[in-house]
Structure 1
Amino acid sequence: MVGNFGSTEQILWPVSSISGIFMCKIVYEITGLISREFFKGYHSLSKPTKIEWNNRGFSTFHAILVAAISFYLLVLSDLFKEGTAVGSIVDRKSLLSDCLCGISIGYFLTDLGMILWYFPALGGVEYVLHHVLSMYAIVLSLISGQAQYYILMVLFSEITTPFVNLRWYLDAYGQKSSMLYIFNGVALFLGWLAARILLFIFFFAHMYLHFDKVRTIFPLGFYSILSVPPVIAVMNVYWFLKIFKGMVKTLSRKRHAQ
């Protein structure tokens, strides 16, 4: 299992994870500074709302960062392309993918810490479960050096987070009746459908078609990849239904108001 625990990784993992924590702290503070300067309504928000406002700032930054790098590694680079002579797809990794996983661990640790500290203001049990499962899967992948192709697909699905956060910002800012709120809701629905429903269908189809390679993953990782992604997928479907109902409700209210 510890085939990926070399001298480089012993330095890279803690440095990237600590960098992820500092990234969250810096963006949290910058979000507050920018908001105080450019959003007049920010000053009238309650303290708990300001905390969540700033928290969603580094959540958005992390989502954009990991989605962009995951897209590069999965689509633009040659790391996971079929036919490349670099071994089984479940064993492929790079320093960049290791670094990205470390940064995400730092983010999930920071966000989980805030969720637990202010529980349940920043999220309920489902958010705790999501973060714990995400860190568990990433840590296993880092230590073993396996299944990073699938980890990156899940990290790419974070591309929907900016739409979720913008919806919350507009609600907190009293803009639920604005056209931007409606357009963002439709974009959130479509983005969630693509990144957290259809992409997960591709995820499971790819695992099925490459099951002979998936079976070579070390035992704990093998059984985890058969159990953790389905749990996350069920959560994604649950949230997707809530997003769909919210979008329909908003569009119906807007149509009746015209």
Structure 2
Amino acid sequence: MDGNFGSTDKVLWAVSIFAGIVMCKIVYEITGLISREFFKGYNSLSKPTKIEWNNRGFSTFHAILVAAISFYLLVLSDLFDETAIGSIVHRKSLLSDSLLGISIGYFLTDFGMILWYFPALGGMEYVLHHVLSMYAIILSLISGQAQYYILMILFSEITTPFVNLRWYLDVYGKKSSMLYICNGVALFLGWLAVRILLFIFFFAHTYLHFEQVKTIFPLGFYSILSVPPLIAVMNAYWFLKIFKGLVKTLSRKRHAQ
């Protein structure tokens, strides 16, 4: 494993991971405060529902944050410019390291809550998703390698706000609203774009750059070949459920007219 072990790096990791945990706690509390003031019915929700409501608040915030920064690093910055000299799998920056650390802090917090309240906040598929995500992010952060691919996967978190909004509307009794239907369509299209098509691009890119991918340290190399396909299978499974749910909602809306 190549060096990403400088004292400055270790301090950055610790600070960014801690920042991710603190971010979750702050947004969790702010979500509760705002909801009590502006959402009728929040105070009458059961305690488990309030916990999940607030939990989805910080998962939404994390998703928007990592998707925005990942998009900047992947598309707008020149960090991963294909025409630049040097292997794309060995590039990293202070910002990319910080983002990975914050995401580890988020996944640790969310994973802890999932286990503590299991299975109220998610079943075994969520446990597997978080374990695989933390494993891949930690490997990339420590080694400083394959961050291009990890950021690509993190960008797919952009679908999370749509998933959470659907849950909020369901709890709020708005499943028959136009907003629920529009959000369902947006979720379907977004999932198709970043969790299906983007993953196809991911696999195509690793294939076309396989000579570079082979230079990743052994554990990282085999993880790149195994972890993303597992996540892709879960994405496909959830996509099928989203598609069935959308068809059911549209059919119910059509029959109601």
Q: TM-score, normalised by structure 2?
A: 0.99
Match of residue 191 from structure 1: 190
Match of residue 240 from structure 2: 241
1:1-258 correspondence runs (5 A): 1-85=1-85, 87-258=86-257
Residue 120 of structure 1: SS of its match in structure 2? coil
Would the aligned equivalents of 2:79 and 2:92 in 1 still touch at CA under 8 Å? yes
2:224 alignment partner AA: I
Structure 2 Cα separation of the partners of residues 257 and 21 of structure 1: 45
Aligned-residue CA RMSD (Å)? 0.5
1:87-134 deviation digits (Å, cap 9, x = unpaired): 200000000000000000000000000000000000000000000000
Q: What runs of 5+ residues in structure 2 fail to find an aligned partner?
A: none
Residue 129 of structure 1: SS of its match in structure 2? helix
Percent of aligned pairs with the same residue?
Answer: 88
Would the aligned equivalents of 2:166 and 2:183 in 1 still touch at CA under 8 Å? yes
Aligned-pair CA distance for 1:73: 0.1
1:156 alignment partner AA: F
Structure 1 Cα separation of the partners of residues 105 and 203 of structure 2: 27
Structure 2 Cα separation of the partners of residues 193 and 143 of structure 1: 31
Q: Which runs of 4+ in 1 moved over 3 A?
A: none
Would the aligned equivalents of 2:2 and 2:217 in 1 still touch at CA under 8 Å? no
Q: Which moved more, 1:136-145 or 1:147-156?
A: 136-145
1:189 alignment partner AA: F
Q: What runs of 5+ residues in structure 1 fail to find an aligned partner?
A: none
Residue 41 of structure 2: SS of its match in structure 1? helix
Structure 1 Cα separation of the partners of residues 184 and 8 of structure 2: 43
Aligned-pair CA distance for 1:2: 4.7
Structure 2 Cα separation of the partners of residues 197 and 235 of structure 1: 10
